[in-house]
């Protein structure tokens, strides 16, 4: 039907790509909710602005971060951890907006993980040149829940590796609206993001926003 064809050309329909056992890329899954997502994000960011955190080794991260949810991921000279409070303001992190919670739940379910109830959402902001070195998400105590990772704004190259830092990595393009889910046998796979290329996104301009949902306990 012509209507279907036309839609297929103008707005990528959600599609899935297996990355590994327990890992899937759900392209375009967040697109239908982008307006509500961006409105909710603006409120979170107004209450808890982006900041560049310092690693335990003393390096300032190129990615700016903030959080919402019961706990937020933080790093400083004392280490990586989850904290109920924003160290900049002394206030609890903003609550996780229902639209974010629902998207994380639905993406996890589409990835084969039922009943995902994240208590943390790390919000990463990349500008051109910013990157995330290969790492495992392992500051959580519960590895039975998956990671749900939402991409908004400028496209990025996602590096998805193995259980050892030196394992070969696959490269995937992450575009606005794409959602990656990894859990089960993939839960502790190394991953990262290559330096962001220059560009201008129609909605988010010169930046990429990533939402990483986790169940920490
Ligand atoms: C992360 O692994 O913390 C970020 C992944 C991403 O930005 O896509
Ligand atoms: Fe990560």
Neighbours of 126 (CB within 10 A): 23
Q: Give the ligand 1 atom nearest the CA of 126.
A: 7
For ligand 1, pick from 156, 169, 180, 193 the residue to mutate: most ligand atoms within 8 Å of CB. Answer: 193
- Give residue 159's pLDDT: 98
Mean pLDDT (whole number) for 200-216: 98
Mean pLDDT (whole number) for 52-58: 98
Q: Give the ligand 1 atom nearest the CA of 174.
A: 8
- Give residue 1's pLDDT: 40
- Give residue 11's pLDDT: 54
CATH, range 3-7+14-214: 2.60.120.590
CB 190 within 8 A of CB 167: yes
Q: Give the ligand 1 atom nearest the CA of 135.
A: 2
Retrieve residue 51's tokens.
Answer: 């900041």
Which pairing describes strands 120-126 and 208-214: parallel, antiparallel, or unpaired? antiparallel
Nearest Cα neighbor of 31 from 90, 88, 103, 101 is 103
pTM: 0.94
Q: Count how many residues are written for the chain.
A: 217
Mean pLDDT (whole number) for 157-166: 98
Helix (H) or strand (E) holding 193: strand 191-193
Return the residue whose CA atom lies nearest to atom 6 of ligand 1: 210
Report the separation in Å between the CA atom of 198 and the middle of ligand 1, taken as the mean of its atom positions: 18
Mean pLDDT (whole number) for 32-44: 98
């Amino acid at each position: 039907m012509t209507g279907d064809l036309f839609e297929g050309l103008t707005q990528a329909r959600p599609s899935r790509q297996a990355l590994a056992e327990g890992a899937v890329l759900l392209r375009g899954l967040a697109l239908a909710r982008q307006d509500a997502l961006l409105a909710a994000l603006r409120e979170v960011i107004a209450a808890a602005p982006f900041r560049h955190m310092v690693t335990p080794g003393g390096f300032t991260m190129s990615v700016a971060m903030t959080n919402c949810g019961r706990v937020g991921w933080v790093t400083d000279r004392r280490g990586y951890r989850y904290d109920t409070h924003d160290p900049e303001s002394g206030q609890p992190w903003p609550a996780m907006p229902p639209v974010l919670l629902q998207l994380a739940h639905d993406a996890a379910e589409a990835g084969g993980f039922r009943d995902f109830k994240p208590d943390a959402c790390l919000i990463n902001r990349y500008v051109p040149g910013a990157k995330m070195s290969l790492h495992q998400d392992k500051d959580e105590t519960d590895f039975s829940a998956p990671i749900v990772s939402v991409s908004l704004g400028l496209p990025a190259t996602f590096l998805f590796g193995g259980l050892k830092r030196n394992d070969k990595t696959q490269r995937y393009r992450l575009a606005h609206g794409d959602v990656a889910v990894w859990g089960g046998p993939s839960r502790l796979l190394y991953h990262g993001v290559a330096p962001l290329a220059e560009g201008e996104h129609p909605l988010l301009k010169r930046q990429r926003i990533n939402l990483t949902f986790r169940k920490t306990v």
